[in-house]
Amino acid sequence: MVNSQTLLNKEALERISACNYSYVGIYENDKGNIVGTVKTKQLIESGSDRFLGKRIGSLSVVRPSLIVSADTNLMEMLMIFKSKRTKLAFLEE
Using CA atoms, how far residue 87 sits from 9, 21, 37, 70, in Å, is 27, 13, 11, 16
- State the average pLDDT for the chain: 89
Q: What integer is the mean pLDDT of 63-89?
A: 91
Q: What integer is the mean pLDDT of 22-26?
A: 92
The CATH number corresponding to 2-65 among 3.40.1010.10, 3.40.720.10, 3.40.50.970, 3.10.580.10 equals: 3.10.580.10
All residues at 6 or more sequence positions from 18 whose CB lies less than 8 Å from its CB, including other chains: none
Q: What integer is the mean pLDDT of 18-37?
A: 92
Give residue 28's pLDDT.
Answer: 94
Give residue 2's pLDDT.
Answer: 93
Asked which of 3-7, 45-49, 78-82, 86-90 is least confident by mean pLDDT, the reply is: 45-49
pTM of the model: 0.80
Give residue 87's pLDDT.
Answer: 83
- Does 71 have pLDDT greater than 90? yes
The per-residue b/e assignment along 11-44, b for 16 or more CB within 10 angstroms, e otherwise, is ebbeebeeeeeebbbbbeeeeeebebbbbbebbe
